[in-house]
């Protein structure tokens, strides 16, 4: 008999939401986070935007789980007192030849079931945001910003309230299937204070974020053959001078590049209304370390990109802010789109669930991912 029912590896918002669902269903659950605290990595180092879901291909997991997750995330934040601000988003065309792209995004959003999308002209853009330059826009009224770290930790508390064990400084270094359960080997934390240990678990959920491909390899999966290898992509942010606070009250995105590499240089707000630009896309070399420094020289590209639709912006308004890392599947470089991996193993790896390549819109999709995994665990 296994020591526990479910072991969740990874304490970002996805792992915390999975643990909360599993424990809430009455399953003996352990949540293991390699870092010193929950939500200290990708979850707390992103734009904290709750996306609509209009960018993603029809029937992709990103489309399905983003649309479903946004509704659930809003409800969770309201019930648990998490800051959530439905400010809306404008995707703007600066030149007339960009307008057809807005029509394509609108059509895709309609297919995906995104609520409230509407194409608007330059006059209506100006009425919403007088400081923004555009010849037209796609208006997404339900796009929001939220306190992502607080939300993840609220899921963690919910898991603990339902009797889950939540352990930080707990890095999984071994996974092996023995009979009908997985043996999970956990290394002692750096600096001591606790010994390493092993336990058995009927289910293992790999929600390890940046390290999800490495955890899958521990379980004997050939991640290259499955196109699950991850390449870390760094997203840098630049803060806009506080002298411009209040000049724009909504998220503003340009028409995205055709290669799908990013959503372009865009204007973000945090829940307090602070303005910043980002993230960009800085592809890191394989096996790069977690370096969150922001290179001041990248500001020129940010300025050129944002000045197209923010005419009031000056170069000296930009200062380096934070950065974050995203786990992007290498398959993206050859396919142009790499979907989430939400996969339940069978036969010789029965009881293992892998969540790989959970980049944007992973924050928005987290509660929907958790419910899909929870249905497998309880079923």
* Average pLDDT taken over every residue of the chain: 95
Q: DSSP string of 180-205?
A: TEEEEEEEPPTT-SS--EEEEEEEEE
Residue 308 lies in a domain: yes
> Which DSSP string do the residues of 98-156 spell out, in sequence order?
GHHHHHHHHHHHHHHT-TT-EEEEHHHHHHH-TT---SEEEEETT-EEE-HHHHHHHHH
192 within domain boundaries: yes
- 59 in a structural domain: no
pLDDT > 70 in the chain, percent: 97
Q: Is residue 70 part of a domain?
A: no
Question: Is the residue at 107 inside a domain?
Answer: yes
pLDDT band at 101; cut points 50, 70, 90 = very high
> Same structural domain for residues 248 and 315?
yes
**Torsion angle of alpha carbons 261, 340, 6, 171, nearest 10°?**
-30
Residue 31: both structure tokens together: 């949540």
CA nearest neighbour of 167 among 5, 8, 297, 315: 8
Answer yes or no: is pLDDT of 332 > 90.
no
Q: Are residues 237 and 188 in the same domain?
A: no
Residue 309, class by beta-carbon neighbours within 10 Å (0-12 exposed, 13-18 middle, 19+ buried)?
buried
Do 280 and 177 share a structural domain?
A: no
265 belongs to a structural domain: yes
Q: Which of 192, 188, 278 is nearest to 235 (CA)?
A: 278
165 confidence band (pLDDT: 50, 70, 90): very high
**Under a CB-based contact definition with an 8 Å cutoff, are residues 257 and 322 in contact?**
no
**Mean pLDDT calculated for residue range 150-158:** 98
Residues 246 and 190 both lie in one domain: no
Residue 348's domain comprises 4-45+149-228+336-378
**Is residue 99 situated within a structural domain?**
yes
The CATH number for 358's domain is 3.50.50.60
Residue 64 lies in a domain: no
Q: Is the pLDDT of residue 353 over 90?
A: yes
Q: Does residue 4 surpass a pLDDT of 60? A: yes
CATH at residue 122: 3.30.9.10
Contact assessment for residue 99 and residue 136, using Cβ atoms and an 8 Å cutoff = yes
Domains held by the chain: number: 2
């Amino acid at each position: 008999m296994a020591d526990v029912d479910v072991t969740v590896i990874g304490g970002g918002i996805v792992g915390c939401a999975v643990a909360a669902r599993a424990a809430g269903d009455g399953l003996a659950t352990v949540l293991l986070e390699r870092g010193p605290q929950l939500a200290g990595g990708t979850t707390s180092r992103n734009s904290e935007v709750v996306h609509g879901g209009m960018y993603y291909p029809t029937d992709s997991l990103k489309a399905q789980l983003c649309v479903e997750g946004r509704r659930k995330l809003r409800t969770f934040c309201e019930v648990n007192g998490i800051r959530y601000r439905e400010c809306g988003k404008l995707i703007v065309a600066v030149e007339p030849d960009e307008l057809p792209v807005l029509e394509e995004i609108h059509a895709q959003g309609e297919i995906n079931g995104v609520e409230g999308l509407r194409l608007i002209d330059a006059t209506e853009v100006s009425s919403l945001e007088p400081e923004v330059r555009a010849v037209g826009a796609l208006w997404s009224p339900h796009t929001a910003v939220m306190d992502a770290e607080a939300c993840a930790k609220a899921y963690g508390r919910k898991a603990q309230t339902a009797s889950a064990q939540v352990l930080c400084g707990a890095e999984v270094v071994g996974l092996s299937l023995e009979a009908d359960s997985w043996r999970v080997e956990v290394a002692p934390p750096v600096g001591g204070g606790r010994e390493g240990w092993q336990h058995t678990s009927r289910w293992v959920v790999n929600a390890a974020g940046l390290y999800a491909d490495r955890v899958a390899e521990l379980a004997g999966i050939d991640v290259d053959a499955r196109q699950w290898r991850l390449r870390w992509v760094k997203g840098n942010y630049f803060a806009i001078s506080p002298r411009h606070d209040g000049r724009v009250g909504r998220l503003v995105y340009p028409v995205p590049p055709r290669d799908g590499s990013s959503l372009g240089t865009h204007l973000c707000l945090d829940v307090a209304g602070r303005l910043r630009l980002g993230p960009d896309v800085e592809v890191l070399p394989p096996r790069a370390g977690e370096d969150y420094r922001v290179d001041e020289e990248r500001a020129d590209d940010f300025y050129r990109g944002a000045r197209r639709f923010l005419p009031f912006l000056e170069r000296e308004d930009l200062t380096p802010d934070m950065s974050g890392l995203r786990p992007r599947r290498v398959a993206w470089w050859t396919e142009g789109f790499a979907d989430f991996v939400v996969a339940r193993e069978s036969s010789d790896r029965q009881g293992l669930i892998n969540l790989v390549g959970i980049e944007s819109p992973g924050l928005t999709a987290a509660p929907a991912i958790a419910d899909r995994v929870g249905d497998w665990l309880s079923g």
